[in-house]
Structures are given as structure tokens and as C-alpha cells.
Amino acid sequence: MKQSLPSIIIATAVIMIGVWLILGVPQNPLPPGPVACTMEAKLCPDGSAVGRTGPNCEFAECPNTSGNGGGGGGIVPYQSGIRGLVILGPTCPVMRDPPDPGCDDRPYQTSIIVSRANTPTQVFARAESNALGRFEISLPPGDYLVDAAGGEVLPYCSQTPATVGASGYTEITVSCDTGIR
């Protein structure tokens, strides 16, 4: 019994410390303060994006697009923009009279870069012309510059200005020079 008494005292002390830790130590929750959410974004069906908000960092609600034509209150897709044709020419070294139909300018499939006229170095939108040289980009109303990507030297594509109205598409032709003379 002498040897078991210290064991009982140690066991009792361990149990008392355990009970004190579980029940006796007050829980200190973190004090309320500002919440920092990640900078993720969720893409909405109308093409807009929403970020995280609130104390639990849930995504904000997407704009309601039902019943307003799908425009999201001015958010893409716009009911206006630019439609165009990219052409490549000349395609023959010598112009003939009458013109040779085999030497007509040809459609050019390439990348299209659109910038606002007041910030020409900032890309606003990108698109691709198809095998027929055609492209279409939905844009809000405003003044734009349209560039077609040529090669390092040739073909050289001219920058084409375009003004987009509140509705409808502005038709343009972007000319690319082959350098053939």
C-alpha cells in the first residue's frame, strides 16, 4: 500500500490538472477585427466579375441580368462594337490594266488588338480574324484604335480608328501591306 499511495496521488494530480485545463482555463476567442479576403474573382454569366466580401469572405452576388436584355446594366456583352475585315495586298508585283482578278487583295487571318484612342498603348480587347479575314468585337461606346498583328517587318498593318456608337456595330477594313511592289 505504501507504493500505491504515491501512484494514487500522482494520478489524482494529473486528473485534477486535466479538469482544470478543460474547465478552469477561460477560452479567449480572437478579438473582433477587420477581415482580409483573398483577391479571387468569380466570373458571372453576364461576363462581369465579383470579388469576395463580408466576414466569411463569400463571393458577392452576380448582377441580375434577367429581364434587361442580358446586358447586366451596361456590363458586357455590349450591344455595340466593331466588325471588320483584314485584307492583305498587293499580292502581285505588277498592276495590270485591266486588273488581274488573281491579284486582288486577300483576307488575312491574324490577331486583332483594340485600344482606346486616348490610351493607345493599353490593350482594351483582343480578337482573332478568321480565315476569311473577318472579326467582331463587342465594345462599349467610344473611340478606338484597331491594330492587326503583322509580321516582324512585313506585312505591315495600318492602325485603323473606329468610333463605336451606343448601339450597333461599326464596320471597318484594316489594310495590311505585303511589301510587294
Euclidean distance between CA atoms 168 and 82, whole angstroms: 9
Using alpha carbons, select from 167, 118, 169 the residue that is nearest to residue 145: 118
Is it true that the peptide bond before 98 is cis, omega within 30 degrees of 0? Answer: yes
pLDDT confidence of residue 36: 66
CATH class of 80-177: mainly beta
Identify the segments of the chain with pLDDT beneath 50.
Answer: 65-75
pLDDT confidence of residue 69: 36
Burial of 140 (C-beta count, 10 Å sphere; 0-12/13-18/19+): middle
In tens, the pLDDT along 166-181 reads 889 999 999 999 988 7
CB count, 10 Å around CB of 74? Answer: 12
Per DSSP bridges, beta strands 168-177 and 80-89 are parallel
pLDDT confidence of residue 20: 63
pLDDT confidence of residue 83: 95
User: Do 86 and 112 touch, CB atoms closer than 8 A?
Assistant: yes
In tens, the pLDDT along 116-139 reads 999 888 888 899 999 999 999 988
pLDDT confidence of residue 77: 63
The amino acid occupying position 163 is T
The amino acid occupying position 103 is C
The amino acid occupying position 122 is Q
pLDDT confidence of residue 66: 43
Domain(s) labelled CATH 2.60.40.10 in the chain stretch across 80-177
pLDDT confidence of residue 173: 96
Per DSSP bridges, beta strands 160-164 and 106-107 are unpaired
